[in-house]
Structure 1
Amino acid sequence: MPAVADLDLAALNSATKYPSILTYHELDQRNNGGLTEKVTEFSGDVVLTEKVDGTNARIITLPGGDYFLGSRETLFYARGDRVWNEKLGIVEALRPLAERITSPELGIRVYYLEVYGGNKISRASAQYTGAQTLGHRLFDVAAIDPAYLGLPLADIALWRDKGGQHFHTEQELTEIAVDEGIDMVPRLATLKGSELPTGIEAMHAFLAHHLSTTLVALDAGAGGRPEGIVLRSMDRSVIAKARYQNYDRTLQLRAKRR
């Protein structure tokens, strides 16, 4: 593992970016925000978790205690920085956590968290707080081999986009969260893949049944409307998201055609 001063920060940033997650029903390219009937297929057990509407953030931890903080696209802070980018409240929310969590003995460990609430972190901030309270929840952890940092940036991006990052399983993720004392995004249920709805209307009802109000409100003034649900296989080989907004939009479009 190279010393922090010798790290290629562009390579580190690219190798640790969180990958895009597909929607459970495929997005309809002909209708902005709408969905088609094609679904993501799951087999075996599927874990349902709340999808929190905030900003995607990273804590990148290195052997010896060094760490970096960033959004999905950009690194904002390194351990010991006296001045940092205040954008989105990520450093404010995550620096205390980054200072106390365990460093990996080898390689790079990345904690992926949703930072939410606060002062307009997202358009949905008021659904989680009425007092501009800032919160965070862990939703994934990955182990990154430092050897990939030596590749050209284009190759790193290709490796990442083809699933090269090693994400921990549901059991491993839960154990890490417990060991480090980090709150996770809420677990709603565990179902068989065959129990998941396949129709648009059925999935809309499924969302309302499993998550009618957010479980991560930060104070009594929160509006409470949730964003949706993330579905993931136990080994995280398949992961997809189902957002109220997409299903509402699709059903509205269908109603107009009648």
Structure 2
Amino acid sequence: MINLRVLNLTSLNSATKYPSISTYHEIDRGILLDPTVLFDGEVVLTEKVDGTNARIVVFPNGDYVIGSRKELLYARGDLIANPALGIVDALRDLADHITAPEAGIRVYFLEVYGSDVTKASGEYTGTKAVGYRLFDVVSIDPSVLDLPDEAISTWRESGGQSFHTEQELTELAEQNAIPLTPRLGSFPAHEIPTGLQEMQEFLTKHLPTTRVALDDGGTGRPEGIVLRTLDRTAIAKARFEDYTRTFKRAARR
């Protein structure tokens, strides 16, 4: 049985962080370039919500830790919680009832958004409402925590975490009544544009406005989309602002 109280929390924090995700078009100093992430088979498009990355790290006995992108904020039963970005307040009730794994460590990755979480909060709410959306789940073997800190970081960023497939993610979301990031459709890889202009038009066509508004007071401008294969072996993000910036700089030349 995993005992949260004796775990190396530095190692746990590193092993359960969300790894870096590439942009669909390669980016250099803010400018998109022609090379793209390669996809094969079916590609699922989801809305990329502009909030703050959060995680619920769950153990087989029901213990859990809530964290931000960079640090752990609260463990089940703590009297004091780190109030950073309102993450703990937004997720504690969910964490109290979330499905625990039979073995190992399970991490639910969510985007917490709205309120005053980011500068983009006004896109989703006019009343400072707050919401969350599940976008990934990963399983981790506790033995990883025995590795040196640098080795854990390398393991994480090189794809060592075992991410759940689209079907598994959907099933866990339904089981726990957690709203997923909106699914915009599934496309054969060859139908995903590779040109910069074509991809910008593709974004506008499939996500003209956000699908995760928290009330009618938000301005509704979306951040972008995430592209992933069904087995989650390939994933990339495409943000409106990256394409807009690229074309604006090109026009000045």
User: Which of the five TM-score ranges fits, normalised by the shorter chain?
Assistant: over 0.9
- What's the TM-score, normalizing by structure 2? 0.98
Corresponding position: 1:71 with 2:68: yes
- Runs of 4+ in structure 1 deviating by more than 2 angstroms, as ranges, are none
Between the two proteins, the alignment pairs up a number of residues equal to: 253
Q: Which amino acid aligns with 1:144?
A: I
2:7 maps to what in 1? 7
Corresponding position: 1:236 with 2:218: no
- Give the alignment's Cα RMSD to 1 decimal: 0.8
**Displacement of 1:2:** 3.2
Deviations 1:101-155 (A, max 9, x none): 1111211000000000012x11100001100001000000000000111111111
2:24 maps to what in 1? 24
In the alignment, the residues of structure 2 paired with residue 239 and residue 154 of structure 1 have an alpha-carbon distance, to the nearest angstrom, of 24
Q: Helix, strand or coil: the match of 1:23? A: coil
2:190 maps to what in 1? 194
Match 2:218 to one of 218, 222, 234: 222
1:42 maps to what in 2? 39
Q: Helix, strand or coil: the match of 1:124? A: helix
- What's the TM-score, normalizing by structure 1? 0.97
Q: Which runs of 5+ in 1 are unaligned?
A: none
Q: Which amino acid aligns with 1:181?
A: A
**Percent of aligned positions that are identical:** 58
- 1:1-258 correspondence to structure 2 within 5 Å: 1-29=1-29, 33-119=30-116, 121-257=117-253
Whether contact under 8 Å (2:56, 2:107) holds in the other structure is yes
In the alignment, the residues of structure 2 paired with residue 163 and residue 117 of structure 1 have an alpha-carbon distance, to the nearest angstrom, of 30
Q: Which runs of 5+ in 2 are unaligned?
A: none
In the alignment, the residues of structure 1 paired with residue 65 and residue 28 of structure 2 have an alpha-carbon distance, to the nearest angstrom, of 37
In the alignment, the residues of structure 1 paired with residue 252 and residue 10 of structure 2 have an alpha-carbon distance, to the nearest angstrom, of 47
Q: Which amino acid aligns with 2:4?
A: V
Q: Which amino acid aligns with 1:61?
A: V
**Displacement of 1:28:** 2.1
**Displacement of 1:192:** 0.5
Whether contact under 8 Å (2:2, 2:59) holds in the other structure is no
**Displacement of 1:89:** 0.8
Q: Helix, strand or coil: the match of 2:132? A: strand
**Displacement of 1:196:** 0.6
In the alignment, the residues of structure 1 paired with residue 83 and residue 107 of structure 2 have an alpha-carbon distance, to the nearest angstrom, of 21
Q: Which amino acid aligns with 1:3?
A: N
